[in-house]
Structure 1
């Protein structure tokens, strides 16, 4: 621990303390449950994607709190983080801010890699707030259409709460949620512009294109639930469809002027 700052932040991939942990067996049922939850989110409530991400992190990884912190620039040029989605013990800080230059989130973005971190009293004293120490935490860089930031998951109760299975699950959820956030951002952007010729037709094609992998994901998850045991093949199929969906939305978001026409897949 860095005593002077109360902040201990280490690259997750080189943290032997973290990598040596095997706290939770690989749980295929947990992955199937999360995939089904996300499929419903994409189909019904894409605008709630970030909040659902942190809800899943707390509920499925046994965290005390989880959140998404996004960078924002003040009029004087100062950059800070704003907590745009929070679940668990830190929920009361939703909408709050932390400094960019002195935070584990800033370190995570500067290194552009996942971090294993802890925070103690000296850090909170510097911020002038009272909060429980973070005894175990995971930080993942976030690069979204609305800015850069981090996704974080913390425990106040145990110094060995999370392991690689939790990190991998959180990373999977974050990647999928980025699809929903990107699509919702583009949809909101379109609503703020004049109607373009043929846009309604392209939107119809887009909905059909997105629905194909989404329906396949739902069907695969249903089959996995009906066939308990080894779900590895079902999960592999679902992951392939999620990758297809992610690639599609990434392509759509990259188009600045118009939606692409539906492909022949």
Structure 2
């Protein structure tokens, strides 16, 4: 472990940098087409929709990996039911609800940019490829945050910008819609790994 670890939470949060970095222009037409395509899919196949959503996030942001984290309150952890990109081998993994990037985002109820979050959340050190930057946005059910959509950059020379944050926030609305469908159809418990009562 690096002698500088662990460091305090605020030293790994860099959300303000998103507004200080040069931002690419919005491509509203292509984004609208992608979002409309997703909208048609959410009602048809909500379980598969999360994977389609994060594949869209991978294409619409500068990310190398994207995923969805859902809060499993019974077990006090976040579950990753959909992961694409460099971190796809972590499908089904997760993080503690009370000590991790997703928990921080739900507490703040706002998008957060982390730079090398493993400097504070030291259990993330073993993740490969490395977490250079992690951008997360919460989504809600009845105004309560219940999960996050996240994007990760693994390369040192690339960075997220305010346009990535805007796009991820837009996509979080679709994650919320899929979550609602999963709740209404009773499919959420299986996705969270919750076994039915016997």
What does 1:53-92 correspond to in 2, within 5 Å? 53-73=53-73, 79-92=76-89
Residue 147 and residue 28 in structure 1: after superposition, are their counterparts in 2 closer, same or farther (change >3 A)? closer
Structure 2 CA distance for partners of 1:116 and 1:137, relative to 1, 3 Å: same
Contact 1:9 1:115 in 2 (8 A): no
160-169 vs 144-153, which deviates more? Answer: 144-153
For residues 120 and 40 of structure 1, the distance between their equivalents in structure 2, rounded to whole angstroms, comes to 35
Deviation for aligned residue 1:117: 0.6
Which string of whole-angstrom CA distances, capped at 9 and with x for unpartnered residues, describes residues 228-251 of structure 1?
xxxxxxxxxxxxxxxxxxxxxxxx
Q: Residues 86 and 129 of structure 2 are in contact (CA less than 8 Å); yes or no, is this contact kept in structure 1? A: no
Q: 1:126 to 1:180 in 2, by over 3 A?
A: closer
**Residue correspondences, number:** 182
Which residue pairs with 2:152 in the alignment?
154
- Judge which range, 62-71 or 119-128, deviates more: 119-128
1:200-239 to 2 correspondences below 5 Å = none
Deviation at 1:120, TM superposition (A): 5.7
Q: Match of 1:70, SS?
A: strand
Shift in Å, 1:63: 1.0
Query: How far off is 1:122 after superposition?
Result: 4.8
On the 8 A contact 1:69/1:151 being kept in 2, the answer is yes
Describe the SS at the equivalent of 1:140.
strand
Counterpart of 2:192 in structure 1 is: none
**Alignment correspondent of 2:99:** 102
Q: 1:117 aligns with which of 109, 114, 118?
A: 114
Residue 40 of structure 1 corresponds to 40
Which of residues 172, 175, 181 is equivalent to 1:174? 172
Unpaired stretches in structure 1, ≥5 consecutive residues: 190-265
Structure 2 portions without partners, runs of 5+: 188-198
Asked if 1 retains the 8 angstrom alpha-carbon contact of 2:47 and 2:182, the reply is yes
Runs in 1 of length 4+ with deviation above 6 angstroms?
none
CA drift of 1:44 comes to: 3.5
Structure exhibiting the larger radius of gyration computed from Cα positions: 1
> Within 1, Cα distance between the matches of 2:48 and 2:151?
18
Matched residue SS, 2:25: coil
Q: Greater helix share, 1 or 2?
A: 1
RMSD: 2.9
TM-score (norm 2): 0.76
Task: Specify which structure has the bigger relative contact order, considering alpha-carbon pairs within 8 angstroms and separated by 6 or more residues.
Answer: 2
Q: Distance in 2 between matches of 1:68 and 1:184?
A: 14
Return the alpha-carbon distance in structure 2 between the equivalents of residues 163 and 83 of structure 1: 24
> Is 2:20 aligned against 1:20?
yes
